[in-house]
Amino acid sequence: MASLRTSLLSKGIAACSSQQLLQLERQVSLLRISTAHIAASKAAGSQVLAQKRHRTSIHREGPPETEKIPGLGSDWEMDMLLDRMTSDGIPKPLPQNDASSLEGLGGFENKTDEVPQLGGYVRALPVSRSYFSRQASFNDNYVHIQQLFRKHGTLPAVPANQVKRVSWRTLRDYKEGAREDVRAAEYKKCLAMAKRLYLIHPKLKPAGLMDSLGPFIRSIQEAETVVKTKELDKFGRAIGVGRRKTSTARAWVVEGTGEMIVNGKSLTGAFSRIHDRESATWALKATDRTDKYNVWALVEGGGTTGQAEALTLAVARALLTHEPALKTSLRKAGCIQRDPRMVERKKHGRVKARKRPAWVKR
């Protein structure tokens, strides 16, 4: 305080009270701290810039220039204080942001909160650590599910029959969506942890858990799909369509005495072979409904065997509209599943699809 009073007298300022001298001493300390902080920030920025220039091998003439910061001598400090003195000899209080108050001083062009601009080339770093792996998105999902399982895997679970049914994505579906070659064993482990997390009690389930399980849940849920039920028309008829090979059959089934008309002909006139006639009426015979329904059908394409087997599927589907409870019996009899087998095409150089021409020695 004595040195400060002597400096004031040498500058031609009247004597100040002890309280004013304490305030001046406090401001001098704040100026020293702020200036030292700015000097350290600029030195660090210059060091980072020098390292970056060295790594990228940028040719520059001479070493990087750094701005010089004046030292904190007593004369410099007193000049700063004299500029802030009022006519009464009372110093003005410094603003709250001490560093911003030094913005207009010489040698302080950058603010303390600015990041030093680095020259040269900057390498872009990927956001995910799995960027360079073979399956980046799956690895991120797997790690996230594993972290959730380690944190919440011990929470009480609800029985599976008391939770809303959810359809999980198969491995093939996930591969097509993510376009990544995911291994079956890894996907199986990840899906097992996801299913365990889904069974957590709703009151204890952490927030955002369903969003984390979203990549493994199918977009279309089988439990929520509404099956469209067929109804009888105004005449009490039910229509069914069946196909086999290249043949197509449409059958209208109505309650009656067991008559069957195919393309305007009787069953015997439409199918001369006994096996074809048995195939056409197999759905009614398997359910003991031969004398209860009448059938009027139109068949086209293919041969008699294909038309008879297509008529079997058409009659079975129309019969389910009348009595849905017969689905189990018809499924066991093999009447409601479409036969996907088709005739294999002929290949060039062969007699048929597989048959080779007879081998002749000479």
Nearest one of 313, 304, 305, 306 to 295, comparing CA atoms: 313
Q: What is the pTM of this model?
A: 0.46
Q: Which residues, 6 or more positions from 295, have their beta carbon under 8 angstroms from its beta carbon?
A: 251, 252, 253, 259, 260, 261, 284, 315
User: For position 88, what pLDDT does the model report?
Assistant: 47
Nearest one of 155, 27, 14, 160 to 87, comparing CA atoms: 14
Q: Domain residues of the chain, as ranges?
A: 2-101, 136-216, 238-332
The residue-averaged pLDDT of 314-343 equals 95
pLDDT tens-digit readout, 203-223: 999 989 999 999 999 988 776
User: For position 69, what pLDDT does the model report?
Assistant: 39
- Average pLDDT of every residue of the chain: 80
Would you call 278 helix, strand, or coil by DSSP? helix
Give Rg (Cα) of the chain.
45
**Helix (DSSP H) and strand (DSSP E) numbers for the chain:** 13, 5
pLDDT tens-digit readout, 21-79: 677 677 666 666 666 656 666 676 666 566 656 555 444 444 444 444 344 444 545 55
Q: Are residues 72 and 32 in contact, defined by beta-carbon separation less than 8 angstroms?
A: yes
**Phi-psi group of 86: left, alpha or beta (phi > 0 → left; psi -120 to 50 → alpha; rest → beta):** beta
In the numeric block, the tokens 């008559």 are attached to 259
84-93, 137-146, 161-170, 298-307, range with the lowest pLDDT: 84-93
User: For position 219, what pLDDT does the model report?
Assistant: 86
Q: What is the CATH number of domain 238-332?
A: 3.30.230.10
Q: CA 350, CA 166: separation in Å to the nearest integer?
A: 51
How sure is the predictor about 123, in pLDDT bands with cuts at 50, 70 and 90? confident
How sure is the predictor about 161, in pLDDT bands with cuts at 50, 70 and 90? confident
Q: What percent of the chain has a predicted confidence (pLDDT) above 70?
A: 66
| Residues linked to residue 295 through DSSP beta bridges, in sequence order | 253, 260
Q: CA 122, CA 125: separation in Å to the nearest integer?
A: 9
User: For position 160, what pLDDT does the model report?
Assistant: 86
pLDDT at 325 over 60: yes
